[in-house]
Amino acid sequence: GQGVDEPLSATGFRQADAAGLFLSNVKFTHVFSSDLLRAKQTAATILGNNKFCKDLEIKYDARLRERKYGVAEGRPLTDLKAMAKAAGEQCPSFTPSGGETLDEVRERARDFFEFLCRLAVELEQKEQDTHGAASRSSGTSEEPLVFPWTNHCSEAELSSGNGGASKILDANILVVSHGAYMRNWIGYFVSDLNCTLPTNLTKSQLSSVSPNTGVSHFIIKLENGNLLKPEITCVCLNQDSHL
């Protein structure tokens, strides 16, 4: 939850280090992290392993915090399950006293995602204003973005743009957050924004919480900068092959 702001354990640092090595060849343009200590340390460790952006500023945002669990925070998961059972409910839909509802968590996720979309469009506009459209590097850079999971997705899918009709934005954003929060964010992508999922993804995988430092990759296309209709494709979900 939010109330217990503990640092990473030794295992947590090893996992963050492994994630950093896994993502070491990915050139990020922005990094955002929850402002809780465990996420801050994870983000810093990932960047510390990166070949391109060790000095990139990490921006901390309270909208990326884990779900608030109220009176259940700092207690074993079995206690939360017992509270839910006593209330005639089940996890994760159960909300302990003082905690956040799933709808409240999803609203935070929606607000932050819309902020990211605006950021990407503003970045694109600045690029065009400064250099002109002809000098843009997206898709034609001599130093292409290198994703460690391209075997899950063809290069064409990563760089295609509907015959040139779409503008592919130059933002490649790392977001470091928490398991229950990310499950709600992904649920928002799927149920509200019709995110396209990998064909081999099962329903249980979609509803499960990511393992620590699990990596999910989404491609977001904003047709001609249209913030209202993002086209979202999930390349991989909760991948943990680096652990």
DSSP element (H, E) containing 231 = strand 230-239
Tell me if 188 is assigned to a ligand binding site. no
Per DSSP, 196 falls in state B
Provide the pLDDT for residue 130.
Answer: 73
Segments of the chain with pLDDT less than 70: 131-147, 149-169
Pairwise CA distance, residues 53 & 25, whole Å: 10
Provide the pLDDT for residue 131.
Answer: 63
Provide the pLDDT for residue 161.
Answer: 41
- Is residue 42 within 8 Å of 19, Cβ to Cβ? yes
Tell me if 68 is assigned to a ligand binding site. yes
Q: Angle of helix 37-48 relative to helix 10-22, nearest 10 degrees?
A: 40
Provide the pLDDT for residue 148.
Answer: 74
Tell me if 38 is assigned to a ligand binding site. yes
Burial code (b: 16+ CB inside 10 Å, e: under 16) for 166-185 equals bbbbbbeebbbbbbbbbbbb
Provide the pLDDT for residue 139.
Answer: 41
Residues of the chain with pLDDT > 90: what percent? 73
Tell me if 69 is assigned to a ligand binding site. yes
What mean pLDDT, rounded, does the chain reach?
87
pTM, to two decimals? 0.86
Provide the pLDDT for residue 136.
Answer: 43
Domains and CATH numbers, the chain: 10-65+101-127+169-239 (3.40.50.1240)
Pairwise CA distance, residues 27 & 232, whole Å: 20
Enumerate the β-bridge partners of residue 173: 30
Provide the pLDDT for residue 157.
Answer: 44
Tell me if 181 is assigned to a ligand binding site. no
Amino acid at 10: A
Residues of the chain with pLDDT > 70: what percent? 84
